[in-house]
Amino acid sequence: ALSSLPNNNDSTATTAAMATKTPSSSLKEIRPLWDHRGGILARAFYMVSNYVLAYEIDTAAEYAMNDNGVIIVIDRWYASTCAYTIARPPVLHDGDGDGVGWTSTDDIIENLPEEVYDWPQDLQLKPQILLVLQIDPEIRQKRVEHRASSLSGSGGGASRFNPWDDRLANEPQLGSRILEVLSSIKGPNAIHSLNANATETEVVAQALD
């Protein structure tokens, strides 16, 4: 989605703004296919989706950008792909094709080379700020259940089946591992954590603070 924001330094000027997410809307119809396959195939899909979005952003920004530049807000992006993969790495063979997670944070974080946290050199679009939303497991589960009930009977969509909902509910340490990896990502100029237990309005206020 593209829009224009007022420039506080010039009442007559506007700054273009763009909001998007990974996977992008262009991949919405095929996302459930890869989610159901799981394992390394699903991880490959989410990795490729970062590059698809980078192309779409470059194309859209080319038309939207003005002298004041363009502000781009992305939900998830490469940092999410990296964090989820490291926190619960996939395996090539596992019955239903699903990945098997590690059991110890030390096995994942401390024994991996620092290079795995580097932003890919060929993914040139890097965020200036990475906002990490932290939420208590109990509140997260309630919101997941609310989302599932609101989608019931909707015919199914990209978010109707999300295997990570069950994984986070069944593996108490998985969320902590994901947050630990996110805090180690190299590429963003700054990383800030937000309290996502708060209301939507309060979270937005934190992000703008």
For 67-90, write each residue's pLDDT tens digit: 667 888 999 999 999 999 888 887
**Other residues' Cβ atoms within 10 Å of the Cβ of residue 88:** 21
Q: List beta partners, residue 132.
A: 193
User: 23 preceded by cis ω (within 30°)?
Assistant: yes
Tell me the average pLDDT across 179-207: 94
The CA-atom distances, in angstroms, between 140 and each of 45, 75, 79, 150, 198 are: 25, 17, 20, 15, 11
8 A C-beta contact, residue 17 and residue 26:
no
Tell me the average pLDDT across 105-121: 79
Query: Does the model's pTM come out above 0.85?
Result: no
The closest of 120, 51, 113, 53 to 82, measured between CA atoms, is: 120
